Amino acid sequence: MPKVLVSDPIEQVGIDILSQVAQVDIQTNLSAEELVRIIPEYDALMIRSGTRVTQAIIQAATQLKIIGRAGVGVDNVDIPAATRRGIVVVNSPEGNTIAAAEHTLAMMMALSRHIPEANYSVKSGQWDRKRFTGVEIYKKVLGIVGLGKIGSHVATVARAMGMRLLAYDPYLSLDRAEQLGCRLVELDLLIQEADFITLHLPKTPETANLINAPILAKMKPTARLINCARGGIIDEAALAEALQAGQIAGAALDVYDKEPLAADSPLRQLSREVILTPHLGASTEEAQVNVAIDVAEQIRDVLLGLPARSAVNIPGLRPDLLEKLKPYLQLAETLGNLVSQLAGGRVESLKVSLQGELATSESQPVVVAALKGLLSHALQERVNYVNASIEAKERGIRVIETRDASIRDYSGSLQLSATGSLGEHSVTGSLLGDNEIRITSVDEFPINVPPARFMLFTLHRDMPGIIGKIGSLLGSFNVNIASMQVGRKIVRGDAVMVLNIDDPLPEGLLEEIMKVPGIRDAYTVML
Ligand SMILES: NC(=O)c1ccc[n+]([C@@H]2O[C@H](COP(=O)([O-])OP(=O)(O)OC[C@H]3O[C@@H](n4cnc5c(N)ncnc54)[C@H](O)[C@@H]3O)[C@@H](O)[C@H]2O)c1
Ligand SMILES: O=C(O)[C@H](O)COP(=O)(O)O
């Protein structure tokens, strides 16, 4: 049974999903050294933002197939290192969107009405109403930096509360901003005009310290700044100085450059209106259930050999597209594995022909799946959807893709032709109505067989008695035949025979089969 390490607090519902397919160990608060020591045992790692998955940990993770981040941000994972090792990194891009947006709105309301300070004052025995006069947010300008999923929800609610919206997002279309009722402007203008500024962008080299001393200096003295995105987007020392000097009216922070926030951080010492929460944006019951289910399901799928629906380091697949392609991905992997064995080792080229409904640009992952299958015999579980294309390229395998929507023998079919040390061989496959895989041709000979763990293929002359001879030969070696089929193009011409057998072919039997008169070639395959 595979083993999963859960190294941050995760909702039980996620653990239950993982437990269906794996042994789950929950060990939180591990040091980096402890993680490096134990990670070699594990097939999957499930984390939140608390675990930093460094290159050293990834290098030690010899069994690891997947890192599941129960949340959005994957900046605590060394993605390039994981990709190089063929480790899939998945997250939950939408599971905590509402939670983070609502935390932002709560921060804005708390700032505008001094709620934390007023609460503290009453609880410490005072009744000071004058000190806590606030400001309304109605008709105030909200500047949203980063108008993605969270920024959009903040915009929708803030608009309903009567705020006027400005947004800065260099990667967003004017249309989308307009739809959300936001005026898309340059950062400088937003900074100068906004009464509240909220950040909803990722931390990247481009956005590190985006909000720095010169930018803070341009804000209105009445402006209030909120960061529920990522630490390090604001220069914390500059912010502390700006607040101390009364350059801006307040700030509410949920995230910090270094977490946990240092005990002696100047932010903790400020007397002016500052609200600090310990990275609670995603901490709602609902969000934690969402992300735990979302990521645990993906870990379960990957451990079962299926693709993940939101892997960050393989070409993204929309859930609806993944649902549609999933059976074809399995078909492609099976055919890739089969054709690589028929073509022998050292495959030089793979022709991938996508036919019928598969002949669309959306079926590109099917090509990757075919490569994964092609390489799986040689590389076993080291090859996956993340690294299959890179591995194929590094191995000098030429991949030629063709698409033909007019071929409609089945709704969609896939033909793979590989040239290897045993020459060129091709297989075609399709799906039956219930998504069962059928191999529909081998080397252009029509057949209709399901794939099996152990298979025997022969190329022979179509003549009386040959099938009986092969059957008897297998019987004499105590090999049980599960199914058998012959495909031919012309009567008494060449033909292929495909046998699904219950056990691997015993040693010496293939040579005996080759001696049968009329047999031109024979291959044994293990899928
Ligand atoms: N505090 C929390 O607990 C919490 C919870 C969830 C998400 N987050 C963080 O919130 C942020 C937003 O998450 P999301 O789900 O909305 O992401 P998203 O990918 O949907 O949106 C991010 C937006 O930022 C924009 N952007 C990128 N670079 C930019 C730049 N230089 N300037 C302006 N805009 C830029 C993108 O175009 C995109 O529209 C992320 O940093 C995420 O990690 C925090
Ligand atoms: O990126 C995220 O999803 C948020 O920062 C939440 O992180 P958390 O799940 O560790 O609270």
Which of 150, 184, 277 has most ligand 1 atoms within 8 Å of CB, for mutation? Answer: 150
Distance 71 CA to ligand 2 centre (A): 5
**Residue 158: in which H helix or E strand, if any?**
helix 149-160
Please report the atom of ligand 1 found closest to the CA of residue 94.
15
**CB of 344 closer than 6 angstroms to any ligand 1 atom:** no
Can you tell me the distance from the alpha carbon of 254 to that of 73, in angstroms, rounded to the nearest whole number?
A: 14
Q: What local confidence, expressed as pLDDT, does residue 282 receive?
A: 97
188 vs 317, which has greater pLDDT? Answer: 188
CA nearest ligand 2 atom 10, residue: 49
Can you tell me the distance from the alpha carbon of 507 to that of 114, in angstroms, rounded to the nearest whole number?
A: 81
**CB of 93 closer than 6 angstroms to any ligand 2 atom:** no
Contact 398, 350 (CB under 8 A): yes
If we measure between CA atoms, which residue out of 62, 53, 44, 45 comes closest to residue 2?
A: 44
- The pLDDT of residue 43 is above 60: yes
Q: What local confidence, expressed as pLDDT, does residue 319 receive?
A: 58
ipTM greater than 0.90, yes or no? yes
- Ligand positioned closest to the Cα atom of 228: 1
Distance 513 CA to ligand 2 centre (A): 61
Q: What are phi and psi of 482, to 5 degrees?
A: -85, -40
- The pLDDT of residue 137 is above 90: yes
| Local structure of residue 63 (DSSP, 8 states) | S
**CB of 206 closer than 6 angstroms to any ligand 1 atom:** yes
**CB of 74 closer than 6 angstroms to any ligand 2 atom:** no
- Ligand positioned closest to the Cα atom of 93: 1
CA nearest ligand 2 atom 1, residue: 73
Mean pLDDT, rounded, of the chain = 92
**CB of 71 closer than 6 angstroms to any ligand 2 atom:** yes
- Ligand positioned closest to the Cα atom of 292: 2
Helices (H) and strands (E) in the chain, counts: 18, 22
394 vs 255, which has greater pLDDT? Answer: 255
**CB of 95 closer than 6 angstroms to any ligand 2 atom:** no
- Ligand positioned closest to the Cα atom of 69: 2
**CB of 73 closer than 6 angstroms to any ligand 2 atom:** yes
Distance 202 CA to ligand 1 centre (A): 4
- Ligand positioned closest to the Cα atom of 68: 2
- The pLDDT of residue 254 is above 90: yes
If we measure between CA atoms, which residue out of 85, 2, 80 comes closest to residue 46?
A: 2
Half-sphere exposure in the Cβ direction for 121 (13 Å, CA): 12
Can you tell me the distance from the alpha carbon of 118 to that of 230, in angstroms, rounded to the nearest whole number?
A: 27
Contact 93, 258 (CB under 8 A): no
**CB of 337 closer than 6 angstroms to any ligand 2 atom:** no
Which of 201, 286, 290 has most ligand 1 atoms within 8 Å of CB, for mutation? Answer: 201
Distance 278 CA to ligand 2 centre (A): 11
Can you tell me the distance from the alpha carbon of 284 to that of 41, in angstroms, rounded to the nearest whole number?
A: 32
**CB of 49 closer than 6 angstroms to any ligand 2 atom:** yes
Which of 79, 96, 97, 233 has most ligand 2 atoms within 8 Å of CB, for mutation? Answer: 96
**Range 172-189 average pLDDT:** 90
pLDDT band at 318 (very low <50, low <70, confident <90, very high): low
Can you tell me the distance from the alpha carbon of 378 to that of 6, in angstroms, rounded to the nearest whole number?
A: 31
Q: In what order do the strands lie in the sheet with 437-442?
A: 398-404, 349-356, 412-420, 423-431, 437-442, 445-449
- Structural domains in the chain, CATH included, are 1-94+284-314 (3.40.50.720), 97-276 (3.40.50.720), 315-443 (3.30.1330.90), 453-527 (3.30.70.260)
381 vs 78, which has greater pLDDT? Answer: 78
- The pLDDT of residue 77 is above 90: yes
If we measure between CA atoms, which residue out of 218, 209, 275, 270 comes closest to residue 245?
A: 270
Can you tell me the distance from the alpha carbon of 345 to that of 341, in angstroms, rounded to the nearest whole number?
A: 7
Distance 48 CA to ligand 2 centre (A): 6
Please report the DSSP string for 407-444 in residue order: --SSSEEEEEEEEETTEEEEEEEEE-TT--EEEEEETT
CA nearest ligand 2 atom 7, residue: 49
Q: Which residues are catalytic?
A: 230, 259, 279
- Angle of CA points 240, 246, 248, to nearest 5°: 80
Can you tell me the distance from the alpha carbon of 311 to that of 329, in angstroms, rounded to the nearest whole number?
A: 15
Window from 120-129, 199-208, 310-319, 442-451 with minimum mean pLDDT: 310-319
Q: What local confidence, expressed as pLDDT, does residue 411 receive?
A: 78
Q: What local confidence, expressed as pLDDT, does residue 380 receive?
A: 61
**CB of 279 closer than 6 angstroms to any ligand 2 atom:** yes
Please report the atom of ligand 1 found closest to the CA of residue 280.
3
**CB of 281 closer than 6 angstroms to any ligand 2 atom:** yes
Q: In what order do the strands lie in the sheet with 224-227?
A: 182-184, 164-168, 141-145, 196-199, 224-227, 250-253, 274-276
Which residue's entry shows tokens 């799906």?
Answer: 431
CA nearest ligand 1 atom 18, residue: 148
pLDDT band at 116 (very low <50, low <70, confident <90, very high): very high
CA nearest ligand 1 atom 41, residue: 202
If we measure between CA atoms, which residue out of 471, 348, 351 comes closest to residue 404?
A: 351
